[in-house]
Amino acid sequence: MTSQEKHNAAKIVAELEGFHIVVVGTPVPRRRQERARALCLGKLVPELHSYGIDRLLMEGRSRALNERGVTTVRGARYELPKGAVFEIEHLPGSSEALLWAADIVAGAVRSSKEGSDNCRELLDARLYQIDLAIDC
């Protein structure tokens, strides 16, 4: 996407109802990216649940990586109240437009970390960012 296309996409997402919860883990060692991803997902699950969300749709990756995500969510459920339900479902990115919105938000947050706040500023009113220190 060009800068203008990213800006336009962020503007459209900013106009959607609701808000976006993003867990940003740093620093992420190159060889520990999957571990960092799992730590962020583990932090995201109780946060989502606290807002009444009990189902997470994630972009599917390989079968093994999807299973890792399911295992991480199972572990994170121990942080939830007893009897709480929380499910995860993996979908192909091309089949679910709502996953595109998540990619746009993640891209805006990443660009902001790299010094370009244009798209992030559009989303600020609808963005809840949790910074997580990654120690792996």
* Domain locations along the chain: 3-133
pTM beyond 0.95, yes or no: no
Average pLDDT in the chain: 93
Cα–Cα distance between 57 and 90 in angstroms, integer? 6
Residue 16 has pLDDT above 80, yes or no: yes
Q: Please give the pLDDT value at position 94.
A: 86
Determine contact, residues 128/24, Cβ cutoff 8 Å.
Answer: no
Q: Please give the pLDDT value at position 11.
A: 95
Cα–Cα distance between 3 and 36 in angstroms, integer? 28
Determine contact, residues 113/24, Cβ cutoff 8 Å.
Answer: yes
Q: Which of 11-25, 47-61, 111-125 has the lowest mean pLDDT?
A: 111-125
Cα–Cα distance between 52 and 20 in angstroms, integer? 14
The pLDDT tens digits for 40-81 are: 999 999 999 999 999 999 999 999 999 999 999 999 999 999
